[in-house]
Structure 1
């Protein structure tokens, strides 16, 4: 399967961050978008609230000018972060009064967030989800019948 450079780089950065315990939803440098953007937090100025998908004035200017950050538009970055936070169990926008997971570094929650982000990144590039394992278990009717003969 052929993937874009931006997708390859994003997947690599997210994979490394997850396995090195450097994926942290509440930190703008270590969240999904922070990791995609080389652990910088400059993207947080695109919106007024962490987890919001609404561009502020600065975000709208960058979006209108067609600016890309590591291949992603400002709106795409906000959508990525929103998906990540929701899948990790946060109520958005991120605020100390809003609901959040009891254990922030729970690997299971982080994996759910990571999986949803990867699914979205693949959708943005118009390819099948690279983490979709269900195709491995799909057999044609004839193949299933042949396997049954040996049981």
Structure 2
């Protein structure tokens, strides 16, 4: 199956950010979307809160004009970031009173966030989830067999 340019670029940027320690969930330039957008933080003006999934007035204007940023619409960018933050263990939107991981740059925390983002990027491009290992382990058949034994 052919991979879209936006998908390939996003995955490469996130991979590099993870391995170069330039991924930080609380920094608009180094979060998932910040990395996808080449370290720019202008995307944060599309909503009123980091992690929000509702476009503000400016975000609505860009969305209605059909603008994309490295291939992603404003609403897609907000959902990518929300997916990343939730995957890392945050309660969104980000707020000092909301739950957050104890060590926000811990590789295990970041990996969970990235796993969620990659799955979501696959969903956006209507492709098989490359993070889904159920077919690799024939997981669905195991569940059917266990339920038959019960």
The question of a shared fold, defined as TM-score above 0.5 by the shorter chain, is answered with yes
Alignment of 1:71-150 (within 5 A): 71-138=71-138
Listed as ranges, the gaps of 5+ residues in structure 2 are: 142-150
Superposed CA RMSD = 1.4
Q: Give every structure 1 segment of 4 or more consecutive aligned residues whose post-TM-superposition deviation is greater than 3 Å.
A: none
Alignment of 1:53-68 (within 5 A): 53-68=53-68
Tell me by how many angstroms 1:109 deviates: 1.1
Match of 1:146? Answer: none
Match of 2:2? Answer: 2
Tell me by how many angstroms 1:135 deviates: 2.6
TM-score, length of structure 2 as denominator length: 0.89
Question: What per-residue deviation string (whole Å, max 9, x for no partner) do you get for residues 50-79 of structure 1?
Answer: 000010000000000000000000000000
Distance 1:132 1:87 in 2: 15
Match of 2:32? Answer: 32
Listed as ranges, the gaps of 5+ residues in structure 1 are: 142-151
Tell me by how many angstroms 1:96 deviates: 1.4
Question: What per-residue deviation string (whole Å, max 9, x for no partner) do you get for residues 72-93 of structure 1?
Answer: 0000000000010011011111
Distance 1:90 1:134 in 2: 26
